[in-house]
Amino acid sequence: MILKKSVAISETGFIFNPATGDSYTVNPIAAEILQLLKAAKSLAEIKQEILQQYDVDEKTLEEDLSDFSSHLQQLGLAEHEA
């Protein structure tokens, strides 16, 4: 999955989609994931990164990541790799 190029992420966790004019807020962990996506990391790499830093089991994280990424797609902020 890749984040749409035009999507802007601020330091403070505000997301702006110039294509629609919509803005969003995210919690710190979501901001971190978005930054990693922006840096062209894959979901698998992101998973490893988060597992190292946070107190969470792999199964829970996998579920949450998959839910989060499908939500990003639903919101039109990300798309499947071509």
Partner 1 sequence: MTMEKKRYERPVIQKLNSGLLNKFGSATEIKPLTEIDGVPVKRLVAEYGSPLFVFSERQIREKYAEVHKIFTTRYPKVKFGWSYKTNYLNAICNIFHQQGSWAEVVSGFEYEKALQNGVPGNKIIFNGPDKTAADLQKAMANNSLIHLDHMDEFYLLNELAAAGHKKPRVAIRVNMDTGVYPIWDRFGFNYENGQAWSAINKIMTSGNFTMVGLHCHIGTFMLAPSAYGIAADKLAALFVRIKNKFGHTLEYIDLGGGLPSPNNLKGAYLPGNDLVPPIEEFADTIANSLLNSDIAPNELPLLIMESGRLLIDEAGYLIGTVIANKRLSTGRRATILDFGVNSLFTSFWYNHKISPAQEVSNYKEDVELFGPLCMNIDVVRESVILPPLNTGDRVVAQNVGAYNVTQWMQFITMRPNVVLIDDQGKPHIIRRAESLDTLNQMEEMPAHLKTFKL
Please list, in sequence order, all residues whose beta carbon lies within 8 angstroms of the beta carbon of residue 57, skipping any fewer than 6 positions away: none
Class of residue 38 by CB neighbours under 10 A (exposed 0-12, middle 13-18, buried 19+): middle
Q: How far is the CB of 71 from partner 1 (least distance, A)?
A: 6
Q: How far is the CB of 30 from partner 1 (least distance, A)?
A: 4
Q: How far is the CB of 45 from partner 1 (least distance, A)?
A: 15
> Rule CB under 8 A: which residues touch partner 1?
13, 15, 22-30, 33, 53-56, 60-61, 64-65, 67-68, 71-72, 74-75, 77
Can you tell me the distance from the alpha carbon of 29 to that of 18, in angstroms, rounded to the nearest whole number?
A: 23
In this complex, which beta carbon is closest to partner 1, that of residue 67 or of residue 79?
67
Class of residue 65 by CB neighbours under 10 A (exposed 0-12, middle 13-18, buried 19+): middle
In this complex, which beta carbon is closest to partner 1, that of residue 5 or of residue 22?
22
